[in-house]
Amino acid sequence: MYRDKSVAVVVPCFKEEHQIAKVTSTMPDFVDRIVVVDDQSPDRTAEVVAELAKADPRIVLIRHEQNEGVGGAIASGYKWARDNGMDMAVVMAGDGQMDPADLPNLLDCVIDKGVNYVKGNRLLWRGAYSVIPKRRFFGNSILSLLTKIASGYWHVSDSQTGYTVADREVLQVIDWDRMYKRYGQPNDLLISLNIANFRVRDVPVRPVYGVGEISGIKIRRVIFTISNVLVKGWLRRMWIKYVVQDFHPLVFFYLLSIVMTLIFVWMSGRVVVLWSSEGEVPGMSALAMMFSFSVALQSAFFAMWFDMEANKPLR
């Protein structure tokens, strides 16, 4: 129990036979349950966890019949926590990249501030830039920016962190079977949380690298699959939140921006072709190009601004 609240820590695990013992052995005493979800690891991960469970009765091992991805593993852990009446469910990776010393800060934010979902944020840690590998830092920053636009949580960054706390209400309201199953899971969940009007906040956590972890992420591939999750999620959020459940003219601003961007692309193509083939461009085409560009940009900025205002109560 942590301040009279029960805490389960969900640990997604894939090929972590060498790392997992470090995670369970450093787990603070106030954690009531450690739900390790193995996903058909080809190595001895499941055996190692079963062995560890003999010494630590808090450990629960869930084994998937087939590999469902990190998001699928987190969904199983959350469902376990929900069905067992836990007050808070934490997610920590099975490779030792989360510092347990940060956990009280994350839990305090849920208890004291009434926030429903608290995320660790490695980018807020002083000196993070020198600890996080540069490619990671860069990829994460881009995805964080895109996730702001898609999720409506403009005050949240480090979208890819796997260190999070969800309260009881989140566990009960979110449909875990529909959550995205692979590496875009944190992005997809943020969008669903926003649609359900949950409060979300970041707490600085220490970035941990070089503890023997082997990342399963291929940055180049993941940027595309996650972008796909973000575009679909953004459309879903706009539709449900601002058209179906409620109404806000910002959807028209976004729509105008998209139409104007298409016109801009078409006009600039035309201008380039005419310029290179005939050496000159009709004034109207040049004007239409500039006009569509400025309207596209302005309406996108207005839409973002309105979205930001509409989501202020969810901080």
Q: Which residues bind ligand GDP (CB under 6 A)?
A: 12-14, 16, 37, 39, 67, 69-70, 73, 93-95, 97, 162, 213, 215-217
Compare residues 68 and 95 and give the one whose CB is closer to Mg ion: 95
Select the binding partner of residue 188 from ligand GDP, Mg ion, none (C-beta < 5 to 8 A, by kind): none
Compare residues 95 and 202 and give the one whose CB is closer to ligand GDP: 95
Count of Cβ atoms closer than 10 Å to residue 283 Cβ: 8
Select the binding partner of residue 16 from ligand GDP, Mg ion, none (C-beta < 5 to 8 A, by kind): ligand GDP
Select the binding partner of residue 91 from ligand GDP, Mg ion, none (C-beta < 5 to 8 A, by kind): none
Select the binding partner of residue 75 from ligand GDP, Mg ion, none (C-beta < 5 to 8 A, by kind): none
Smallest gap from residue 14 Cβ to ligand GDP (A): 3
Select the binding partner of residue 231 from Mg ion, ligand GDP, none (C-beta < 5 to 8 A, by kind): none
Select the binding partner of residue 67 from ligand GDP, Mg ion, none (C-beta < 5 to 8 A, by kind): ligand GDP
Compare residues 217 and 262 and give the one whose CB is closer to Mg ion: 217
Is residue 97 within 8 A of residue 132, CB to CB? The reply is: no
Compare residues 71 and 152 and give the one whose CB is closer to ligand GDP: 71
Report the C-alpha gap between 115 and 315 in whole angstroms.
Answer: 8
Select the binding partner of residue 216 from Mg ion, ligand GDP, none (C-beta < 5 to 8 A, by kind): ligand GDP
Compare residues 119 and 237 and give the one whose CB is closer to ligand GDP: 119
Smallest gap from residue 270 Cβ to ligand GDP (A): 44
Q: Could you please report the per-residue DSSP string of the chain? A: -BTTB-EEEEEEESS-TTTHHHHHHT--TT--EEEEEE---SSSHHHHHHHHHHH-TTEEEEE-SS--HHHHHHHHHHHHHHHTT-SEEEE--TTS-S-GGGHHHHHHHHHHH--SEEEEEGGGSTTHHHHS-HHHHHHHHHHHHHHHHHHS-TT---TT---EEEEHHHHHHS-GGGS--STTHHHHHHHHHHHTT--EEEEE------SS------HHHHHHHHHHHHHHHHHHHHHIIIIISS--THHHHHHHHHHHHHHHHHHHHHHHHHHHHHS---HHHHHHHHHHHHHHHHHHHHHHHHHHHHTGGG-
Smallest gap from residue 153 Cβ to ligand GDP (A): 19
Smallest gap from residue 92 Cβ to ligand GDP (A): 8
Smallest gap from residue 19 Cβ to ligand GDP (A): 7
Smallest gap from residue 185 Cβ to ligand GDP (A): 10
Smallest gap from residue 97 Cβ to Mg ion (A): 5
